[in-house]
Structure 1
Amino acid sequence: MPNNPNYTDDYILTVSCKTAPRIVAGIASYLTERGGYIAELSQFDDKITGHFFLRTLFNIASDSGYSFEDIRTGFDELAKKHGIEWAMHEVSRPKKVMIMVSKFDHCLVDLLYRYHKGELNIEITAVVSNHTDLQTIAEREGFRFIYLPVTQDTKEKQEAALLDIIHETGTELVVLARYMQILSDDLCKKLHGRAINIHHSFLPGFKGAKPYHQAFERGVKLIGATAHYVTGDLDEGPIIEQSVLPVSHAYYPEELVALGRDTETQALANAVKLHAENRVFLSGNKTVIFK
């Protein structure tokens, strides 16, 4: 109920649990009995895994006598009854995002542009890189730039420093915007569900280095990019968003690389937007996404 003075700001409730009866009814009753107005509701019952997912956008009547904190605190009783994993978010509060880069600038530039245009509900806490090539871009846009060079000998130390920065800044999501370093298994576990990578290939095909050259050698008719959550298995994490472009035998590797930049920026920006709006649920090695 946007712009209605009789209602508060918008809030989002996300729910996942084992499939069971009366969950939707229980949630709807809980919110409406406390002056909640449900503006959107999306749900999915996975018949393979027996798992249930729900996302709802709601606001609260100003004269209900309930605050957002009241509703959030009280929901725990219902959650325990149904074994629900849940979270409530204020839509007006942006997600705190750290962007990690190396030398390629297109994904960083695109994210900063969308941020300034108000397309992404995020707050950029820092730009971190293992090179200094993009420092000028980050600082010109007014963002803190942190240089963390990585070698085989310093990797563990620098990952510890990275975690310190994440904690210091309250970063909720790490975005690897063509960050060309493989994160350790330990760091991947600590960032589970909180780190998104863009891979310049339509996964699960052409993993690892130089995927456009691999695509050229196979004579593909489509190239693409895949935004996925980071796991310890290289380019194997749950897929959030993919983007593709048609190509032909006439495109050489360098031309595929140039064309591919568009798919990379699009897929990464869409994935960040979906995550920032709490539309993505992890389900094993897959995702459930309410668009």
Structure 2
Amino acid sequence: MTVSCVVFKFVVPSYFFPALAKAVMQIGPELSRTVVVPTKLDTKIPQFACPSDVEVFLLPPTSTLDGCILGDLPFFTSVLSGRVGSGSHCLYSSNDDFKQAVSFKEMEDVASLEEKLGRPLSKQERNNLVYINNVPLINSLLEKEHRSVTRKLSDVKQELSTLDEAKLKEKGRAFHDMFLTKLSLLLKGTVVAPPDKFGETLSDERVNGGAFVGADGVQFPHKLIPNAGMRLYGGAQYHRAMAEFHFVVGGIKCTPITREEIVNACGVEDIHDETNYSRIAS
């Protein structure tokens, strides 16, 4: 089986980046096959006001990154302007001249960053800067991901070629059992699912699923409902919904019931002549 591999390289101006990001997310929503290389490091350095700005920029927290990019962190470099060639409009006479200029520029960037930091760059910080030296690492990451995707694709094709009615039924039963297990765990309580992705605040819940209202048709204020501002799911969200329900029921005024109405409700059942108090209470 032959599997082709396509590598997309996007070089666009900064004002086109939102459209580019949308296109990349459509190809790989988790960014697990994407190497990010910002190319405007030299214009970014003057914007750093303190050492902590440089540290966060070079080694950003995982929570600030979209998805899980290939290599875990972006690489940074400064792409020089000017063409390579022999014409009068060309700034570099050969590719070697351009590579040498890029190397000098990287040295200048490192010196500027160390001046902003007030200390030498750490090994990890430096590794994310020298882009040319990182090309073999980037290639190896892409090759490893290519092998992984090729293996998964082969497994999927193999599975599709051997599917029959019995296997489909077995997979359906396995999915059914897994779904019920996960649902039971969700209702019991879990911290596996991220609240920012699956949880709902009370406002979100009311928009997506409707809201309890009092006899006057007005919703209860959020401050009366416990954990109204928290993004909940599963059993925790159920408890909040029941608390809201109790507030609504507690505010309803019951119609007065006379003793005669209670006695008249106590009739005879179809099967036996005993009184069914559960039916009467409802």
Higher helix share goes to which structure?
A: 2
TM-score between the two structures when normalised by the length of structure 1: 0.20
Rg (Cα) greater in structure: 2
TM-score between the two structures when normalised by the length of structure 2: 0.20
Higher strand share goes to which structure?
A: 1
Higher relative contact order (CA 8 A, sep 6+): 1
